[in-house]
């Protein structure tokens, strides 16, 4: 009774094999993350100091700190989000809650997918043509941020739409059946219950936007600006471009400095992510159905 | 016939297609005002579709097409001048699975009321309180939830949730309640409680209830409509339908030989 047959034994062996294989491949994901963080921390920490964070570069960027680049990146990301989040969320709400299934909607969806597939250097050229020259924003934070915003729109739209779709249809029907309008339903029920999902998309884009180099290098980020930006019409330095420049264009930069810049960039992104995740879990605690 | 009161719902040759599938065929019925009418029939026979065309909530699906006439309280509901928000205010709906909004008990009951009042109607919380209490009392829920009005509605038991879903319609002062298998997610005891409630609400509201439960239709309705393949086969007083059905197919169905 209940003795394993040869078939059972074979299935059991295969089960074990598959399980270890899947675990192994999953661990492979962690490896590069640990290596990247480890190398950056190991090589970059010697150059890190408060002075490094809070002073300007000196001696042709071979000494001094990175303050203008740090502040510049914060500006670029903030202005980009200010532009992309309202537009992206509005578009997603329309597509999820209002759009009928017709040719126009399909064209919009196709456009979003294609926009997501455009390489960042092409976005850069678009930004130069559209924002720098056509709208005459010049090379400025505004032009660079708008370029970044266009680039991040598809992700924001798609993730927001997913978040909205995750709100059960039954809630919408309950509202409509009480004579609530579409907008009342969205405003009081759909949006409050999808904020956490929408934030997830935004978080992804914060990281993405902060790290992008190509779209900003012709549109608003500069090689070297010895002062902090005062408004959206200024040019600025940015961490990502600064990293590229001191790694490849400037002779005589001490070895730890690029690693330290990369470490700061990653820490900036990760602390923004951490903050958003904290907000998200707090919001999610309210949500139960 | 002339002295007969205006039916709560009246349809005339109502046909409805989902794409190319015809879900309702030539449905002509009069739903008596103030009574409970049960709609019975096998799955997919069009009961729910019929219910959902009365408050026109079917239309959100873009591929729905209707012909024929639907009148609610004597007025055509498909005309160009009909405000859906007003139609749905008069015709409340209760769904198969209790679907309280993910808000507090209080906000659920007051949701419809808030949605419909003018923005300048400065109603204070104190003035909302009687509306809240009356609605919850009417569904026999006040005593159980009066101490947790701020709790999330989704933390209530299913029976309480379904009662809440009825309560939230009441502040809108609807005339007709559409109920789409309101007890199918509930256990027998809770089902009994909801049926009792329906009997309490009878008269004040016209109730149109879809059910798969023959015993329920028999216990808790004045009239029955039996549908099959999108058509109305028989519409008669409940006792008559169960004791002396006119149509062979009705007899087979209510006696459990079919469906």
Nearest CA in chain B to A287: B102
Position A90 in a domain:
yes
Mean pLDDT over residues B105-113, rounded? Answer: 93
Contact B128, B134 (CB under 8 A): no
Q: Is residue A214 part of a domain?
A: yes
Tokens 């980020």 belong to which residue? Answer: A221
Say yes or no to pLDDT of A286 above 80.
Answer: no
Mark whether A70 and A29 lie in a shared domain.
no
pLDDT at A208: 85
Cα angle B216, B229, B250; round to 5: 45
Residue B150 lies in a domain: no
Residues A15, A96, single domain; the answer is no
Mean pLDDT of the region A227-235: 89
Both A137 and A253 in one domain: the answer is: yes
CB–CB of A176 and B101 under 8 A? no
Cβ separation A170–B97 shorter than 8 A: yes
Helix axes B188-201, B158-167, angle to 10 degrees: 20
Query: Considering only A6-20, A194-208, B5-19, which range has the smallest mean pLDDT?
Result: A194-208
What pLDDT is attached to residue A175?
94
Q: How far is A110 from chain B (nearest CA, A)?
A: 20
Instruction: Return the residue of A nearest to B88 by Cα.
Output: A179
Q: Please identify which residue in the block is written with the tokens 């902090």.
A: A228
Cβ-Cβ contacts under 8 Å, A98 against chain B: none
B151 reaches A (C-beta below 8 A): no
Say whether both A55 and A25 belong to one domain: no
Model confidence at A289, pLDDT cuts 50, 70, 90, reads low
Domain that holds residue A31: 6-47
CA A271, A142, A95 angle in degrees (round to 5)?
A: 75
B87, A173: Cβ pair inside 8 Å? no
Average pLDDT over residues B93-107: 93
In a domain, A113, yes or no: yes
Task: Quote the pLDDT of residue B258.
Answer: 65
* A-chain residues near B86 (CB < 8 A): 179
Structure-block tokens of residue A287: 């949500």
Q: Is B113 in CB contact (< 8 Å) with chain A?
A: no
Nearest CB to B115; choose among A171, A173, A184: A184
Q: What total of structural domains would you count in chain B? A: 1
Instruction: Tell whether B110 lies on the interface with A, counting CB pairs under 8 A.
Output: no
Which of A103, A179, A186, A187 to substitute to test the interface with B, most B CBs within 10 Å? Answer: A179
In terms of domains, do A133 and A262 share one? yes
pLDDT category of residue B243 using cuts at 50, 70 and 90? very high
Mutate which of A101, A178, A193 to test chain B, going by most B C-beta atoms within 10 A?
A: A178
pLDDT in tens, B51-84: 999 999 988 767 889 999 999 999 999 988 899 9
Percent of chain A with pLDDT over 70: 99
Considering the domain boundaries, does residue A1 fall inside one? Answer: no
A43 and A108 fall within a common domain: no
Q: Nearest residue on chain A to B172, judged by CA atoms?
A: A178
User: Which of the residue ranges A99-103, A179-183, A277-281 would you say has the lowest mean pLDDT?
Assistant: A277-281
Q: Is the dihedral of CA A169, A175, A177, A183 positive or negative?
A: negative
Looking at the fold, whether A112 and A201 belong to one and the same domain comes out as yes
Cβ neighbours of A181 in B, within 8 Å: 85, 115
CA-wise closest residue to A83 among A156, A178, A173: A156
Q: Is the pLDDT of residue A188 over 80?
A: yes
- The answer to whether the CB atoms of A177 and B62 lie below 8 A apart is no
- HEC states along chain A? CCCCCHHHHHHHHHHHHHHHHHHHHHHHHHHHHHHHHHHHHHHHHHHCCHHHHHCCEECCCCEECCHHHHHHHHHHHHHHHHHHHHHHHHHHHHHHHHCCCCHHHHHHHHHHHHHHHCCHHHHHHHHHHHHHHHCCCCCCHHHHHHHHHHHHHHHHHHHHHHHHHCCCHHHHHHHHHCCCCHHHHHHHHHCCCCHHHHHHHHHHHHHHHHHCCHHHHCCCECCCCCCCCCCCCCCECCHHHHHHHHHHCCCCCCCHHHHHHHHHHHHHHHHHHHHHHHHHHHHHHHCCC
Report the pLDDT value the prediction gives residue A176, as an integer from 0 to 100: 92
Is residue B143 situated within a structural domain?
no
Per the domain annotation, does A109 fall within a domain? yes
Q: Is residue B21 part of a domain?
A: yes
Chain A residues 126-185 with CB within 8 Å of chain B: 168, 170-171, 173-181, 184
Give pLDDT, residue A288: 56
Name the domain count of chain A: 2
Most A CBs within 10 Å: which of B102, B165, B178, as the mutation test of the A interface?
A: B102
A26 and A84 fall within a common domain: no
Q: Is residue A173 part of a domain?
A: yes
Q: How far is CA B160 from CA A134, A167, B176, B182, B219, in A?
A: 61, 22, 21, 12, 21
DSSP string of chain B, one letter each residue: -TTSPPPSEEEEEEEEEETTEEEEEEE--EEPTTSEEEEE-STTSSHHHHHHHHTT-GGGSTTEEEEEEEEETTEESSSTT--HHHHHHHEEEE-SS----SSBHHHHHHHHHHHHS-TT----HHHHHHHHHHHHHHTT-HHHHTT-TTSBGGGS-HHHHHHHHHHTTGGG--SEEEEESTTTTS-HHHHHHHHHHHHHHBTTBEEEEE-S-HHHHHHS-SEEEEEETTEEEEEEEHHHHHHS-SSHHHHHHHTTS--
CATH number at residue B33: 3.40.50.300
Q: Do B111 and A180 touch (CB under 8 A)?
A: yes
Question: What's the mean pLDDT in B15-27?
Answer: 94
Q: What is the phi-psi region of residue A199: left when phi exceeds 0, alpha when psi lies from -120 to 50, beta otherwise?
A: alpha
Contact B80/A153 with Cβ under 8 angstroms? Answer: no
B156 touches chain A (CB under 8 A): no
B86–A179 C-beta distance less than 8 A: yes
Considering the domain architecture, whether residues A57 and A195 belong to the same structural domain is answered as yes
Distance from CA of A190 to the nearest CA of B (A): 10
Best to test chain B binding among A100, A168, A174 (most B CBs inside 10 Å): A174
Same domain, A58 and A187: yes
pLDDT beyond 70 at B230: yes
> Cα distance from B60 to chain A (closest Cα, Å)?
9
pLDDT at A190 over 60: yes
Tokens of B178: 């559409």
Q: What is the CATH number of the domain that holds A228?
A: 1.10.3720.10
Residue A261 confidence class, pLDDT cut points 50, 70, 90: very high
| Subunit contact B88:A177, Cβ cutoff 8 A | yes
Distances (CA, A) of A46 to A34, A42, A197, A258, A263: 19, 8, 39, 11, 11
Can you give the residue range of the structural domain that contains B40?
9-98+175-254
Complex ipTM more than 0.85, yes or no: yes
Q: Do residues A142 and A227 both lie within one domain?
A: yes
Q: Cβ–Cβ of B99/A170 closer than 8 Å?
A: yes
> CA separation (Å) from A112 to A88, A90, A151?
11, 14, 10
CA angle (A30, A35, A37) in 5-degree steps? 100
Nearest to A173 among B57, B155, B169 (CB): B57
Cβ neighbours of A108 (radius 10 Å): 15
Contact B207, B37 (CB under 8 A): yes
Region B123-137: what's the mean pLDDT? 88
Instruction: For residues A136 and A159, state if they share a domain.
Output: yes
């Amino acid at each position: 009774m209940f003795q394993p047959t040869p078939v059972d034994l074979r299935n059991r062996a295969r089960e074990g094999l598959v399980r270890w294989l899947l675990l192994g491949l999953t661990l492979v994901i962690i490896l590069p993350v640990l290596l990247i963080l480890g190398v950056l921390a190991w090589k970059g920490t010697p150059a890190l100091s408060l002075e490094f964070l809070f002073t300007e570069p000196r001696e042709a960027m071979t000494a001094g700190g990175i303050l203008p680049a740090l502040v510049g990146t914060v500006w670029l990301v903030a202005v980009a989000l200010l532009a992309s989040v309202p537009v992206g969320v509005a578009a997603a709400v329309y597509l999820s809650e209002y759009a009928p299934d017709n040719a126009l909607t399909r064209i919009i969806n196709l456009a979003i997918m294609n926009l997501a597939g455009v390489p960042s250097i092409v976005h850069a050229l678009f930004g130069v043509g559209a924002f720098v020259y056509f709208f005459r924003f010049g090379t400025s934070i505004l032009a660079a941020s708008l370029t970044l915003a266009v680039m991040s729109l598809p992700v924001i739209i798609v993730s927001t739409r997913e978040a909205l779709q995750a709100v059960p249809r039954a809630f919408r029907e309950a509202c409509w059946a009480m004579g609530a309008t579409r907008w009342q339903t969205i405003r009081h029920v759909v949006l409050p219950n999808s904020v956490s999902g929408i934030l997830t998309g935004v978080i992804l884009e914060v990281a993405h936007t902060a790290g992008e180099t190509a779209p900003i290098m012709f549109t608003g980020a500069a090689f070297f600006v010895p002062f902090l930006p005062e408004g959206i019409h200024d040019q600025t330095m940015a961490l990502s471009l600064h990293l590229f420049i001191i790694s490849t264009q400037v002779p005589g930069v001490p070895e730890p400095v690029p690693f330290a810049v990369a470490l700061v960039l990653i820490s900036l992104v990760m602390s923004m992510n951490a903050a958003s995740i904290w907000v998200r879990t707090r919001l999610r605690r309210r949500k139960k159905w | 016939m002339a002295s007969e009161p205006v039916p709560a719902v009246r349809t005339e040759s109502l046909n409805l297609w989902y794409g190319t599938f015809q879900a309702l065929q030539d449905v002509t019925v009069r739903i008596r005002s103030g009574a409970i009418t049960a709609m019975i029939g096998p799955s997919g026979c069009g009961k729910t579709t019929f219910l959902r065309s009365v408050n026109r909530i079917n239309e959100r699906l873009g591929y729905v097409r209707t012909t024929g006439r639907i009148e609610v309280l004597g007025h055509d509901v498909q005309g160009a001048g009909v405000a859906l928000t007003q139609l749905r205010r008069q015709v409340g709906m209760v769904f198969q699975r209790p679907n309280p909004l993910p808000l507090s008990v209080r906000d659920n009951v007051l949701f419809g009321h808030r949605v419909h009042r003018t923005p300048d109607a400065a109603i204070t919380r104190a003035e909302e309180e009687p509306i809240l209490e009356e609605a919850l009392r009417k569904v026999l829920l006040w005593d159980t939830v009066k101490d947790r009005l701020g709790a999330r509605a989704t933390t209530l038991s299913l029976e309480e949730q379904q009662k809440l879903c009825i309560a939230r319609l009441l502040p809108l002062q609807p005339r007709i309640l559409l109920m789409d298998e309101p007890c199918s997610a509930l256990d027998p005891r809770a089902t009994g409680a909801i049926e009792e409630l329906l009997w309490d609400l009878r008269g004040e509201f016209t109730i149109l209830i879809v059910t798969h439960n023959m015993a329920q239709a028999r216990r808790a309705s004045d009239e029955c409509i039996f549908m099959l393949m999108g058509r109305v086969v028989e519409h008669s007083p409940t006792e008559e339908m169960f004791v002396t059905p006119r149509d062979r197919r009705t007899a087979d169905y209510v006696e459990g030989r079919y469906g």
